[in-house]
C-alpha cells in the first residue's frame, strides 16, 4: 500500500505553493502525509520574510523517518526539502520534486545573489528526482535550456469556494484588481501608476504595502481576503492585472478567470501559459492598453473556457502518475 509524504517549506503561508499543497491534501483519495515548518521551530527568511525557515531540520528528518513513507514529493528546496532529499537518498525512496518559484530571480532582485550560484544549487537539488514538476510549459522550456532533466508540466485548479455566483456588475468606471503578495518583485508600481486612469484595488499584504499606500493614495488596499469574500471581490471588478515578470505561474490568475475576469499582463512566463490572447485576456508591453482591450471581452465565455482547463483532481492525477507510476 502506498504511503505518500509531501515535504514542503511552505504550507501555512498565503502563496501559490501553500495553496497547491493544501488542495492536494484536501482532494487526494490516497493517504497523504505532510511535513512542513509549522511542525517545528522556525524563523523568517531575512530577505523574504513571508518564507518560513525550519530551524530543526534534524527533527524534520526524524519525523519523515517516523512516518516511513513509500514515496515522497519534495515541494521546496529549503531545509525541510533538503532533509527529505537526504532521507530519500539514504533509504532509496523514489521521489519527485516541485519547482514553483523563480528564487534565483527573486534573490538577485532582493539581495544581489548571482544566478549561477542559485541555479547551480537548484540543478543539484532537482536533477536526481524521478520528475521535476513545474506549473507551466514556458517554465519547463526555460529549465530545459538551463540543463534541468525530467521536467514535466503540472496543472493547477480553483477551489469551489473561490468561485462567486453573484451576477456581474456594470460599473461607471473600469475597476481593476490585483491579488497577491505586495512586494518589490511583483512589479506593482507599474499598475499603481495607472491610479488616475482606473479604479484599482490591491488585495494582499507584504513588505512594501505601507510605502505604496503613501505614494498612491487613490488605490484601495484591502489586505488579504479569503474564500467567498475573495470570490465576491473578484466578481465586483472588470479586469485582473498581473504585472509580475518573475512568477512561474500565478494561481490567482486562474481564480480570476474562474470568476470571469480577463487578464492584463506582460508577455512572460506564467501569463503566457494561462492567457488565451483575445479570449481570456491580453499580453504585451503596455499594461494600460492590455487593460482597455480586456474590457471588451465576453466574461461568460471566459468562465466556460477556464472551468474546462483547470482542476485539482487533474493536478493530483499528474502527481500520482510521476510519483507512483500510475496511468
Residue 287 confidence (pLDDT) above 90:
yes
- pTM (2 decimals)? 0.85
Q: How many CA within 13 A on the CB side of residue 310?
A: 28
Residue 109 confidence (pLDDT) above 80:
no
Helix (H) / strand (E) containing 255: helix 251-258
**pLDDT by residue (tens digit) across 44-70?**
876 666 678 899 999 999 999 999 999
Bridge partners, residue 235, by sequence = none
Q: Which whole number is the average pLDDT over 10-38?
A: 92
| C-alpha–C-alpha distance, residues 318 and 14, integer Å | 24
Kindly list the structural domains of the chain, giving each domain's residue range(s) and its CATH number in brackets, ordered by start: 4-157+311-324 (3.40.50.2000), 160-309 (3.40.50.2000)
Which of 94-103, 173-182, 261-270 is the least confident region? 94-103
Helix (H) / strand (E) containing 161: none
Q: Which whole number is the average pLDDT over 128-147?
A: 94
Which of 90-99, 209-218, 248-257 is the least confident region? 248-257
Residue appearing with cell numbers 515578470 = 245
pLDDT score at 160: 85
**pLDDT by residue (tens digit) across 158-193?**
888 899 988 887 778 899 999 999 998 899 999 999
| C-alpha–C-alpha distance, residues 119 and 104, integer Å | 6
Residue appearing with cell numbers 471581490 = 233
Amino acid at each position: 500500500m502506498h504511503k505518500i509524504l509531501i515535504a514542503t517549506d511552505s504550507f501555512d503561508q498565503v502563496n501559490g505553493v501553500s495553496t497547491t499543497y493544501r488542495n492536494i491534501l484536501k482532494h487526494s483519495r490516497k493517504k497523504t502525509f505532510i511535513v512542513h515548518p509549522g511542525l517545528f521551530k522556525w524563523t523568517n527568511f531575512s530577505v523574504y520574510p513571508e518564507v518560513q525557515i525550519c530551524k530543526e531540520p534534524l527533527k524534520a528528518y526524524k519525523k519523515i523517518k517516523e512516518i516511513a513513507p513509500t514515496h515522497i514529493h519534495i515541494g521546496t528546496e529549503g531545509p525541510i526539502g533538503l532533509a527529505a532529499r537526504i532521507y530519500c537518498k539514504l533509504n532509496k525512496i523514489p521521489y519527485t520534486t516541485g519547482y514553483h518559484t523563480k528564487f534565483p530571480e527573486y534573490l538577485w532582485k532582493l539581495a544581489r545573489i548571482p544566478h549561477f550560484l542559485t541555479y547551480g544549487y537548484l540543478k543539484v537539488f532537482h536533477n536526481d528526482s524521478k520528475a521535476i514538476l513545474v506549473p507551466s510549459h514556458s517554465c519547463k522550456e526555460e529549465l530545459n535550456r538551463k540543463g534541468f532533466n525530467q521536467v514535466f508540466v503540472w496543472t493547477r485548479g480553483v477551489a469551489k469556494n473561490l468561485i462567486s455566483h453573484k451576477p456581474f456588475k456594470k460599473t461607471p468606471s473600469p475597476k481593476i484588481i490585483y491579488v497577491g503578495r505586495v512586494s518589490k518583485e511583483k512589479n506593482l508600481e507599474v499598475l499603481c501608476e495607472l491610479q488616475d486612469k482606473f479604479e484599482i484595488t490591491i488585495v494582499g499584504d507584504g513588505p512594501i504595502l505601507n510605502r505604496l499606500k503613501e505614494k498612491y493614495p487613490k488605490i484601495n488596499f484591502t489586505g488579504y481576503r479569503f474564500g467567498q469574500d475573495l470570490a465576491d471581490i473578484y466578481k465586483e471588478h472588470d479586469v485582473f492585472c498581473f504585472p509580475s515578470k518573475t512568477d512561474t505561474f500565478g494561481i490567482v490568475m486562474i481564480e480570476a478567470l474562474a470568476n470571469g475576469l480577463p487578464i492584463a499582463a506582460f508577455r512572460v512566463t506564467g501569463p503566457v501559459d494561462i492567457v488565451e490572447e483575445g479570449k481570456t485576456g491580453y499580453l504585451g508591453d503596455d499594461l494600460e492598453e492590455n487593460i482597455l482591450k480586456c474590457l471588451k471581452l465576453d466574461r461568460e465565455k471566459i468562465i466556460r473556457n477556464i472551468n474546462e482547463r483547470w482542476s485539482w483532481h487533474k493536478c493530483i492525477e499528474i502527481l500520482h502518475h510521476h510519483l507512483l507510476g500510475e496511468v
